[in-house]
Amino acid sequence: MPSDPPSICQERARLLHNYRDAATNYAEKVREMTELAIAGRESESNHARRMCRTTWDTAESSRLALSRHEADHACAQARDFRSVEDLNSR
């Protein structure tokens, strides 16, 4: 039916959630590093910069996993669908 919410496979949904969480964590670390650098707290800023790199690596790994899944998997043909609304209720 046209009014039914869109459905995606569970693995793609899991990968999307992982990517969102990793990107959010990276953005938070960038914000922290920026605030420390602006405040002139260089020692703490350098540590935060290293944390930015670590969280960026995680976000990029999550992005690549999602990209590989989308390229390799025919999600539209999968039978194991859940509605997007069900996934957002987690």
Q: Other C-beta atoms within 10 Å of 90: how many?
A: 7
Instruction: Give the pLDDT score at 80.
Output: 46
pLDDT confidence band for 3 (50 / 70 / 90): low
Q: Which residues of 72-85 are buried (b: 16+ CB within 10 A; e: fewer)?
A: eeebeeeeebeeee
Average pLDDT value for residue range 54-70? 95
Question: What is the C-alpha separation between 78 and 75, in angstroms, rounded?
Answer: 5
β-bridge pairing 7-9 and 81-83: antiparallel
Residue 40's identity, in one-letter code, is: G
Has this prediction a pTM greater than 0.75? no
Enumerate the H helices of the chain as residue ranges: 10-38, 42-72, 84-88
Instruction: Give the pLDDT score at 70.
Output: 87
Domain range annotation of the chain: 11-88
Average pLDDT value for residue range 3-27? 87
